[in-house]
Structure 1
């Protein structure tokens, strides 16, 4: 599967504003002030980081989806992103049990390498038990990271999206396929979950990842594109 700002394998970069907010008396003014101070994301490379996470043995998985720091603040919280992900067909791991070791990413925000915030899996329409099926047969899953350090506090979420099958081996072109499947679901008309409706703008960003398979886990080639999603609630 999503980019490391929330960068999403899905790897998503965290949320936070670029600088502390000053109190505002009126909600509308507060919203406008946040929009002026916030940024969509910072390039991890500018701060010595990478759009590849650390999957071990010198290889990484692409952070190929970013949830923009300009998204509604509620979407960038842990609970808010989980609700959005469930609307897009992903949920928490089967019975709360995690398969495999967590991966880390350096988003160039001054925190250095930090473990993933969470890992979500395709739920096949059942948010309670559907991810147990994904654990058995494979499907889309994502890892989420936050970009919220002292030197690059975008508040964005970055994720790494990937499509897997057969004992969770990533299928050929699985990173790009996982990203595209997630984006298709996340930008669908009428997207909603738990009485929250979403409006999502999608933008393709080049230059953050290099196309090809150099340094990529499992030697799987990628097209180098990262999808930036700006998510608003209705």
Structure 2
């Protein structure tokens, strides 16, 4: 017997398949001259190492939706709404060219109101969000640049192997050993798939802080359970 949750998720997936261009998980940015590295502003970039699939529940892919999902997996908006440093940009090959990050979210240590203030002091996981929605690839997918960073004394540089570590921590929180996660009265069921071939392994002088990566991008499909 199939559980009601699995039946619901299957029906939602079938519905997504009929939504035209929004019915694909994502389009490889390099197909249309984009990149899986954002622009950190210094000639280097951070890997877009997690993708929230365009086949996720539509409400997840909105600005408010990704913030609520982030809170369900241990992240929240920046401390007191204050952002230090220039935003980074990314070209997702959707025809929009380089666009600044939509939002930056930080580990909240279990406190969605003030926990990110602690992350700003002691370091932790964080991610930037970019949306693929141009005329060349209007998938609605969210590309995340995830990394674990040092504390404020180290000027928030990335910890050794911090891109791969940050990706894996976020994915583990989202999948939650096959269970659901929830916040603000919304419950999520998330599945993950690791994809190779989108990002090259290594650093080769193009990854920010010259930190080598394993080249894996994790695709998350996030469904709202009702």
Which among 211, 216, 219 is matched to residue 201 of structure 2? 211
Cα separation, 1, equivalents of 2:157 and 2:210: 12
Secondary structure at 1:187 match in 2:
helix
Runs of 5+ unmatched residues, structure 2: 1-10
| 1:81-101 Cα deviation digits (max 9, x unpaired) | 111100000000000000211
CA RMSD of the aligned region, Å?
1.4
Cα separation, 2, equivalents of 1:67 and 1:213: 24
Return the structure number with greater relative CO, CA threshold 8 A, min gap 6: 1
Which among 28, 34, 56 is matched to residue 41 of structure 2? 56
Cα separation, 2, equivalents of 1:174 and 1:138: 11
Instruction: Give the 4+ runs in structure 1 shifted more than 2 A.
Output: 29-37
Are positions 1:226 and 2:217 aligned together? yes
**Normalised TM-score (structure 1):** 0.85
Query: Which structure has greater helix proportion?
Result: 2
Secondary structure at 1:154 match in 2:
coil
Which among 17, 22, 44 is matched to residue 35 of structure 1? 17
**Aligned twin of 2:115:** 130
| 1:12-67 Cα deviation digits (max 9, x unpaired) | xxxxxxxxxxxxxxxxx998554232100000000100000000221000000000
Closer, same or farther in 2 for the Cα pair 1:233/1:54, shift >3 Å? same
1:1-234 equivalence runs, <5 A: 32=14, 34-36=16-18, 37=20, 38-167=23-152, 168-188=156-176, 189-214=179-204, 215-234=206-225
State the 1:120 CA deviation. Answer: 0.3
Cα separation, 2, equivalents of 1:30 and 1:196: 16
State the 1:112 CA deviation. Answer: 0.3
